[in-house]
Amino acid sequence: MGKASSSKKVSRVARTGGGRTTRRSSGAWGFPLVMGLVVLLGVLGVWLSRDSAHHTAAADQPTVNDHWHSAYSFDVCGTFLPDLPQPSNLIGLHTHGDGVIHIEPQDPVLDTGKRATLGRFVSGYPGLRLSRTSFSVLNQTWKNGEPKCDGKPGFVVVKSNGKIAANPVTLRVPKNGWITIAFVPKGTDVPAPPNWQAKVNAANGGKSEHNTPTTMPNNAPTPSPAPTTTPASAPPTSAAPGPPTTTK
């Protein structure tokens, strides 16, 4: 009886001690692991939020406080068309007849961020149309397949800073860059607009680009020269009469 009772007591103590040791060990490791996971998730959340904010801020440019420039041109069968003249009404993306798109957002909804596109520029210019398969310049249209360039079908290709745009309408106008809207046979290399860098530099440094040019009337009177006067001639001088002379 004594031995059996002692064996039972030892068994109970072993079971109780082992259970307490297991629970104590599990609790000692579990809490630091949970806290470490919380800290790690917190750091990761802060990093992701900052990265997202950075990309969001960059995507919002240009803003209504920005004024950017980008050269553009139309290339038809290897010949660049003349620069478009300045239109009568200017929207946030416009040109001054200098071969440059001026990205100067006026409407925060239509002109800023990812909406500062080539399509937005085209929409504000009378007589311009643009799609993936055709474009029109001052009511003359070129569309995929017709007319031909030296007997070869032409196709619309829009290139920006050396890269072909998948959708020219939603293409964002690059800051200090260039865009060529081309109609050329397949496989033709599309170059940048002529003197594009000089045009952008001139626009960046221009001081009176938004001033309306003034012209003199055709029949403007020419100012008459101031009349010249001849000084009055001095009165003749007479010698005082001398004494009379007598002849002997």
Model pLDDT for residues 27-45, shown as the tens digit of each residue: 566 767 777 777 777 766 6
Dihedral pair phi/psi, residue 68, rounded to 5°: -110, 170
Q: Please compute the mean of the pLDDT values over residues 101-122 and round it to a whole number.
A: 95
Burial of 91 by CB count in 10 Å (0-12 exposed, 13-18 middle, 19+ buried)?
middle
153-162: pLDDT as tens digits: 999 999 999 9
17 and 84 together in one domain: no
> pLDDT band at residue 230, thresholds of 50, 70 and 90?
very low
Asked if the structure places residue 160 within a domain, the reply is yes
Asked if the structure places residue 90 within a domain, the reply is yes
Structural domain of residue 124, as residue ranges? 68-204
Which pLDDT score, from 0 to 100, does residue 208 have? 40
Query: Can you spell out the DSSP letters for 45-95?
Result: HHHHHHHHHHHHHHHT-S-TT--EEEEEEEEETTEEPPPPPPPSS--SEE-
Question: Going by C-beta distance under 8 Å and a sequence separation of 6 or more, which residues neighbour residue 48?
Answer: none
Which pLDDT score, from 0 to 100, does residue 241 have? 45
55 and 116 together in one domain: no
The count of domains in the chain is 2
173-188: pLDDT as tens digits: 999 999 999 999 999 9
Using the predicted structure, report yes or no on whether residue 84 has a pLDDT greater than 50. Answer: yes
3 and 98 together in one domain: no
Residue 163 and residue 133: Cα distance in Å, rounded? 17
45 and 86 together in one domain: no
pTM: 0.61
Asked if the structure places residue 236 within a domain, the reply is no
